[in-house]
C-alpha cells in the first residue's frame, strides 16, 4: 500500500510538472519560464545574428519560451510589429 501511495504521489507530481511546462502558472510556471528564457537565449542570439530584420518588419514568433525572444525581436524592429505565440 505504501508503494502504491508513492507511485500515486510521483505520478501526480509528474503530471503537475509536465502541465507547468506546457502552460506555466504561478511560481512554478515562472521558474520554468525563467529556465526556458535562460536556456534558449544563446541559440536565439545565434539565430538572430544570421537573419536580416529591418526596423519596420512585421514578425510572428511561433515557438516556446518565456517571451525574451519577442523582446529581442521588438528591439530589432522598433517601428514594426511583433506577435508571439507559444
Q: For the chain, give every domain's residue range.
A: 2-85
Run of H or E including 62 = strand 58-62
Rounded Cα–Cα distance for residues 61 and 54 (Å): 15
The x, y and z cell numbers of residue 83, run together, are 506577435
User: Global pTM?
Assistant: 0.70
Cβ neighbours around 59 below 10 Å, total: 16
pLDDT of 30: 85
Cβ neighbours around 82 below 10 Å, total: 20
Q: What is the pLDDT of residues 10-62, one digit of tens each?
A: 899 899 888 887 788 888 888 888 888 888 899 999 999 999 999 999 999 99
Amino acid at each position: 500500500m505504501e508503494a502504491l501511495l508513492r507511485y500515486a504521489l510521483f505520478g501526480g507530481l509528474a503530471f503537475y510538472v509536465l502541465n507547468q511546462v506546457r502552460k506555466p502558472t504561478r511560481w512554478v510556471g515562472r521558474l520554468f519560464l525563467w529556465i526556458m528564457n535562460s536556456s534558449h537565449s544563446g541559440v536565439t542570439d545565434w539565430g538572430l545574428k544570421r537573419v536580416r530584420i529591418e526596423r519596420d518588419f512585421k514578425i510572428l514568433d511561433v515557438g516556446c519560451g518565456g517571451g525574451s525572444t519577442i523582446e529581442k525581436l521588438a528591439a530589432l524592429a522598433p517601428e514594426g510589429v511583433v506577435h508571439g505565440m507559444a
